[in-house]
Structure 1
Amino acid sequence: MDDSDSDSVADSQTTDISNSMDDSDIESVDDSHSTLDKTVDNSETVDNTNECDDTDCYPVSFLQRLQGFRSEGHLVDVTLCAEGREIPCHRLVLSACSDYFHAMFGGAHSESKKDKIEIGGVSAEALQQLVDYAYSAKITVTFDNVQALFEAANMLQVKGVEDRCEHFLMNNLGPETCLVTWALADKVLCEPLLETAKLYVLKHFEDVCIMEEFLELPVDFLKAFISDDGLHAKKEERVLEAIMHWVRHDLKERHSHLKELLECVRFSQVDREYLEGILKMDKVLAGVLGIKELVQDQTRHARPRHIQGEILVFGGRTCAYTQGDEGNNYNMYRLTLNCDCVDSSPFPPYFFHVNAACVVSSDVFITGGAYAKCYAYRYKPSVGSWSKLGPLVNEKRLFNRMVALQGQAYIVGGIGMPKWRAVYDVEVYSESTDSWNLVAPLLNEGVKDFGIASCCDKIYVFGGRTGKCTLSDQSHNTDAVQCYDPTQNVWSYAAPLPKAMEEITACTVNSKIYLVGGKLAHVLCYDAQQDCYEKMTSPLASWSDCSATTCGSDIYIIGGCDHNDDDDDDDDDDDDKVPHATVQRYNVRSNTMVLLQDFPVTIFQHISVIVPNA
């Protein structure tokens, strides 16, 4: 393909994604080589039949032969036309590559009998590239051609090229490209790309709003993201300034939209002196009908936008068990939501092992201790203080889990000492009496190594190892899901997991619970209202023994380990665990997984939570 041709096509687009790009960024794809199983036979069998197996080279030679037929005009039976260019080709080849042409040539459409067919709505160069792809299985996607190519592939239903364009744009999001990508994804109805681009815009608002592309945004797109709760604006004043900048770019045409855009500003979060000053200086803003009432209405959008928080990581191990206690993590790490390490400080000396943690009213409740006794502590991030809570009813248990529900901290399950049997007990903390009190116990079997989350005013316990497990035999996994209703103080069973599993982590977003970690091959979404499961995207790195915590629509998956063993049984040998420092962020809205910068150390079997910034 000639890059100069694609340049000329890109220049004709109303919104050109290439203006902000480096032409060196090119992604070439060759789909002509199938992945086939190869059988190697080293025996000395004599074969006089002179047969040969051409399964590797035949697809390539077949496509080359088809291209030769096209070049020679041999058996050509249709000509596609676009923008004055004529492209001779074969109906059969087009039908095999495109559902659009398959329907056109296989049905009662008039085009099925025409020798020449005008293809409207696509550029000639993009159509040529798609036809070339049908004959070669090769496509080169660049910043210059991706827009026209994506639109043409979408219209003509060439799935392979659509996927390649989506992948190219997803991997090249930046402040200069995210807005155009968002608009393009909306046009071709590509939901994953649209959500990913929109999330990028929200999280990089400060950088995006100073780009030239921002000034060309349609009003509906601008309104969609400045009204979003997830907009990352350091100050609400910046949102107001961005709106005025956009309006002034074409004041005559855009002035009529100013009032509806200003209704998206959270004036209760804007400095009052700043407002008074700008209303005196800015005649356009001051002249908006009802502006004084709008800025004085403290009830409108009273809640701040994105709640900035930080990630706290406790306990776990930084290396395999072969190194004994030297591998224990005795530090507490503080990270930004971009996973920059803000601070690392020694953990209180009374914790030999961290069991679990949950966040209640911005404070972190933690269980842990030493050997056969468990304690509970409260950590206040705002002042950096630790305080010991009242004793647990069942102090002789380890490896329990915690969850927050309706402003209270619950301790669930674990292992009872010294018999090493899974625990049924469930306890809730009372703030008024500084005590832990028993509530209804788990059903039939106690569990350890389970996933736990609160959702729709109930607690859900997913899988785990049952009460039959011992120190020497931990193979009794369960697929049971237990649900606790605090209003009735009863447990009941919910829909079981697709299979028995342990060491998974559960995170709640809205009315759904997302399961990650363990031996899951995908993110598993549990809909609490429908009581059913759905497989989502796969992880980008091994997540056995990882931690996971939620902020907004994002789930942060930190650390984990690989296993040296290749078997698929449930008896994991801790000596075979190889920890890593990978951090993955899963967004539930776009169903996409991305890698962030690594955690400061390799880590596994740890706990992480997200708390508001102090």
Structure 2
Amino acid sequence: MDDSDSESVADSQTTDISNAMDDSDIESVDDSHSTTDKTVDNSETVDNTKESHTDWYPVSFLQRLHDFRSEGHLVDVTLCAEGKEIPCHRLVLSACSDYFYTMFNGAHCESKKDKIEIGGVSAEALQQLVDYAYTSKITITFDNVQPLFEAANMLQVKGVEDRCEKFLTNNLSPETCLVTWVLADKVSSEPLLERAKIYTLKHFEDVCVMEEFLELPVDFLKTCISDDGLHAKKEKRVLEVVMLWVRHLKERQTHLKELLECVRFPHVDREYLNGILETDKLLAGVSAINELTQDQSRHARPRHIQGEILVFGGLTRSVKPKPGDDYDSNDDMYKLTLNCDCVDISPLPPIIWRASAACVVNGDVFITGGANARCHAWRYKPSVDSWTNLGPLVNKERLVNSMVALQGQVYVVGGVGTPKWTPVYDVEVYSEMTDSWKLVAPLLNEGVKDFGIASFCDKIFVFGGRTGKCTLLDHSHNTDAVQCYDPTQNVWTYAAPLPNPMQDIAACSVSSKIYLVGGMLAHVLCYDPQQDCYEKMTDRLNLWSECSATTCGSDIYIIGGCGHDDQFPHATVQRYNVTSDTMVLLKDFPITIFNHISVIVPKA
């Protein structure tokens, strides 16, 4: 979800979240047990009371407390909000809320009062929270999520806070992301704030036409249009949005100059800009407007990378196979937007057979794969949609190798030889000038396949993998070794080992670190080459053994994969943002897929 303004949600500039959401979306939650049953149709019902008969006590106990309250038995305090009085028990409130625990522990005057006015919350939200304390049940809708979230945050009812955050996260849309951003800021929910902000940036074209956009506080708007990751097809659209927002309320004109300073005028068509300066008196009247629009050094860098995701190769299956069944090969290339909308599906040419690895250099895709038990290499130029054969590799008798780009050159690394699946430690680099390959220093005596590979700081890093012939469930050949290649010295050395042996992982370089996903990892694992150490990041959202991973800006797109044991593929697409350490689900891939390749190329 996307960021929100630091001003109060009750501020006149802030929109009411209920206006931006569909009333039919409801989440009912019962927290008395851990088991959950969910129904779909954009509503979520969680009933945690459905346990075995041996677990009747918690439910029975809560019911007795609820009965005591209804009967007025042992009631010792009355909460008041907006004229409504809610009798209850101090003990129950203290057990549910740290706010009330602190209030009733004797250090505050409220601990002795019979009636306590609770300001800053609605009577309805307060009643819901008291009911939750006695029943463990709460119903969240688009109508009540905003006041309920604010009340749960203020009264420190964490169970309801978490449910509201989950509800809003699951229902992000162009209509809701802005008000969610503002609300998340008010309740200091950093994960929700980052998700709402990221959503807004990536769906800017859809979000800026919503009525809610005109109500966005100025600080939020400024944050949005100054971000490198803003997805605007043309910079002139950013300028148009700024002018539209300023004109919505006359008093906003005082913010115009500071907002214009966020517009990247070097990327606005000059003829269009000259024309609007002649006709728009408000814009032309801004002090130093000529300096702003003519300074080519200011914001010279474009915003986010405009790219497309290409996916090819791999295996698919629509129904769970029986023992001995074969998977279906994916012989198509899928082209996706960065929002994971599939824009094209085209068959791979006959020359491409079982593509096993790929990397991108100068916008072109270099691919290797097996044909007749031999390794071949090809080049795909997305700009003209053409495929060509590359010169033969030095070691042609290798399969399931990997590839990586380093300093504008293509490297083929490792693999296994046929027919006995013997390790291949050879590493080759491609010369575009001679259309030929040459051997460089081989891998050390460690993993040669199913490893993660990435380039960083003019070096190649190989993480884990498997060595030698082994079955799917035989982990004895897995390694925790990390091998590092320095082309200036033509030598491989060891880096800090992985926390444990790993296979089927993917490695992606972002900024100054390398992120590992896939395999049996339950989370993203971050490797810092400068500190030579590892850090656990956020958890995965689905199993991802033999997934593919590719990077655009600060986002890692993790496509498909399967369970490590059953090898049954799925179509889930997970996007990990390294800046916010958040994982979100995108639209499913068109087919279930694993053991495939994905790359991101510049958008044509």
TM-score tier by shorter-chain length is 0.7 to 0.9
Aligned-pair distance for 1:482? 2.0
- The verdict on how the C-alpha distance between 1:560 and 1:84 changes in structure 2, with shifts beyond 3 A counting, is same
Answer yes or no: is the 8 Å Cα contact 1:10–1:148 preserved in 2. no
Map of 1:548 onto structure 2: 549
Q: Secondary structure at the match of 2:335?
A: strand
- The verdict on how the C-alpha distance between 1:284 and 1:62 changes in structure 2, with shifts beyond 3 A counting, is same
Is 1:315 the counterpart of 2:313? The answer is: yes
Is 1:585 the counterpart of 2:584? The answer is: no
- The verdict on how the C-alpha distance between 1:454 and 1:112 changes in structure 2, with shifts beyond 3 A counting, is farther
Distance 1:197 1:271 in 2: 30
Is 1:123 the counterpart of 2:122? The answer is: yes
Letter in 2 for 1:112: S
Map of 1:19 onto structure 2: 19
Distance 1:476 1:448 in 2: 11
Q: Secondary structure at the match of 1:466?
A: coil
The structure with more radius of gyration? 1
Distance 1:159 1:472 in 2: 41
Q: Percent identity?
A: 80
Q: How does 1:148-547 map to 2 (within 5 A)?
A: 148-251=147-250, 253-319=251-317, 327-467=328-468, 469=470, 475-547=476-548
- The verdict on how the C-alpha distance between 1:336 and 1:77 changes in structure 2, with shifts beyond 3 A counting, is same
- The verdict on how the C-alpha distance between 1:598 and 1:25 changes in structure 2, with shifts beyond 3 A counting, is closer
Task: Identify which of 579, 587, 610 aligns with 2:600.
Answer: 610
Where structure 1 has 5 or more consecutive residues not aligned to the other structure, the ranges are 1-8, 37-52, 566-576
Map of 2:42 onto structure 1: none
Aligned-pair distance for 1:384? 1.7
Distance 2:548 2:447 in 1: 22
Letter in 2 for 1:520: L
Answer yes or no: is the 8 Å Cα contact 2:446–2:466 preserved in 1. no
Where structure 2 has 5 or more consecutive residues not aligned to the other structure, the ranges are 1-8, 37-51
Answer yes or no: is the 8 Å Cα contact 1:420–1:470 preserved in 2. no
Map of 1:44 onto structure 2: none
Answer yes or no: is the 8 Å Cα contact 2:447–2:479 preserved in 1. no
Distance 1:85 1:344 in 2: 60
Shifted more, 395-404 versus 103-112: the winner is 103-112
Shifted more, 71-80 versus 176-185: the winner is 71-80
Map of 1:58 onto structure 2: 57
Higher RCO (CA 8 Å, separation ≥ 6 residues) = 2
Distance 2:472 2:316 in 1: 23
Answer yes or no: is the 8 Å Cα contact 2:446–2:481 preserved in 1. no
Answer yes or no: is the 8 Å Cα contact 1:315–1:330 preserved in 2. yes
Distance 1:177 1:559 in 2: 28
TM-score norm. by structure 2 comes to 0.88
User: What is the RMSD of the two structures over their aligned residues, measured on CA atoms?
Assistant: 2.9
Letter in 2 for 1:219: V
Map of 1:30 onto structure 2: 30
- The verdict on how the C-alpha distance between 1:128 and 1:344 changes in structure 2, with shifts beyond 3 A counting, is closer
Map of 2:41 onto structure 1: none
Answer yes or no: is the 8 Å Cα contact 1:309–1:337 preserved in 2. yes
Aligned-pair distance for 1:476? 0.8
Q: Over residues 547-566 of structure 1, what are the superposed CA-to-partner deviations in whole Å (9 max), with x where a residue is unaligned?
A: 2212223322223334775x
Aligned-pair distance for 1:333? 2.4
Map of 2:46 onto structure 1: none
Distance 1:428 1:248 in 2: 58
Map of 2:40 onto structure 1: none
Q: Over residues 61-98 of structure 1, what are the superposed CA-to-partner deviations in whole Å (9 max), with x where a residue is unaligned?
A: 21121122223332223333333433332222112111
Q: Secondary structure at the match of 2:64?
A: helix
Shifted more, 275-284 versus 99-108: the winner is 99-108
Q: Secondary structure at the match of 1:106?
A: coil
Answer yes or no: is the 8 Å Cα contact 1:10–1:145 preserved in 2. no
Letter in 1 for 2:244: H
TM-score norm. by structure 1 comes to 0.87
Map of 1:41 onto structure 2: none
Shifted more, 404-413 versus 131-140: the winner is 404-413
Aligned-pair distance for 1:359? 0.6
- The verdict on how the C-alpha distance between 1:378 and 1:54 changes in structure 2, with shifts beyond 3 A counting, is closer
Answer yes or no: is the 8 Å Cα contact 1:549–1:555 preserved in 2. yes
Distance 1:64 1:260 in 2: 58
Answer yes or no: is the 8 Å Cα contact 1:79–1:87 preserved in 2. yes
Distance 1:120 1:13 in 2: 22
Distance 1:14 1:361 in 2: 45
Answer yes or no: is the 8 Å Cα contact 2:20–2:212 preserved in 1. no
Letter in 1 for 2:308: E
Shifted more, 402-411 versus 315-324: the winner is 315-324
Aligned-pair distance for 1:419? 4.3
Distance 1:243 1:23 in 2: 31
- The verdict on how the C-alpha distance between 1:254 and 1:427 changes in structure 2, with shifts beyond 3 A counting, is same
- The verdict on how the C-alpha distance between 1:530 and 1:155 changes in structure 2, with shifts beyond 3 A counting, is farther
- How many pairs align? 577
Q: Over residues 574-596 of structure 1, what are the superposed CA-to-partner deviations in whole Å (9 max), with x where a residue is unaligned?
A: xxx43333333333344444443
Distance 1:439 1:112 in 2: 76
Distance 1:122 1:604 in 2: 49
Aligned-pair distance for 1:221? 0.4
Q: Secondary structure at the match of 1:108?
A: coil
Answer yes or no: is the 8 Å Cα contact 1:523–1:538 preserved in 2. yes
Aligned-pair distance for 1:360? 1.0
Letter in 2 for 1:350: I
Answer yes or no: is the 8 Å Cα contact 1:98–1:156 preserved in 2. yes
Shifted more, 552-561 versus 257-266: the winner is 552-561
- The verdict on how the C-alpha distance between 1:419 and 1:57 changes in structure 2, with shifts beyond 3 A counting, is closer
Letter in 1 for 2:158: K
Shifted more, 329-338 versus 277-286: the winner is 329-338
Letter in 2 for 1:290: A
Distance 1:193 1:66 in 2: 34
Distance 1:282 1:112 in 2: 62
Distance 1:151 1:530 in 2: 41
